[in-house]
Amino acid sequence: MKRIAFLLGLLLLVIVAGCSTSGVAIPLGNKTYLPTSADSVVILAGPPARPFTDVALVDGTAATDDYFTQERTQAAALKAMKEKAAQLGAHAIIITNKDNRPYGGPLWEKLQISGKAIRYTDIPE
């Protein structure tokens, strides 16, 4: 009986913890674009040399209790951002902020990455 209670508690923890990855996008301006592929959205550390327009502010959040390593957690946060940016027709994301903070337990962190989704203007629509 104790084993069943333990397994149910562990399952509940996994279900609750598994809901901590998210992506958010706030469109900028009134223009809409056809969606792009999330796999084609490029992550940039600064503005590109080629011409672009701002599409949205984007945010990706993930926690180490879901992914267990910083690398996998960061990849999940970036993936969530790229999916939201792609839905709005972005070609790239310029990272503007990265924040880690304690989450859930002593060894867990929540990673939040913010950026600006952009669309290159030298690509025909």
State the amino acid at position 1 in one-letter form. Answer: M
Q: 1: pLDDT confidence band, cut at 50, 70 and 90?
A: low
Residue 80 structure tokens:
């969530």
The Cα-based distances of 122 to 1, 50, 91, 116 in angstroms read: 65, 8, 11, 18
Q: Identify the pLDDT of residue 90.
A: 98
Q: Identify the pLDDT of residue 115.
A: 97
pLDDT (tens digit per residue) in 2-39: 444 433 343 334 434 444 789 999 999 999 999 999 99
Compute the distance between CA of residue 62 and CA of residue 123 in angstroms, rounded to an integer: 32
**Which residue bears the tokens 């333990």?**
6
Q: Identify the pLDDT of residue 64.
A: 78
pLDDT (tens digit per residue) in 35-84: 999 999 999 999 999 999 999 999 999 987 777 888 888 999 999 999 99
Higher pLDDT, 109 or 18: 109
Listing DSSP states for 13-67 in one string gives HHHHHTT--EEEEEE-SS-------GGGPEEESS--SS-EEEEEEEEEEEEHHHH
Handedness of CA 2, 7, 8, 12 (dihedral sign): positive
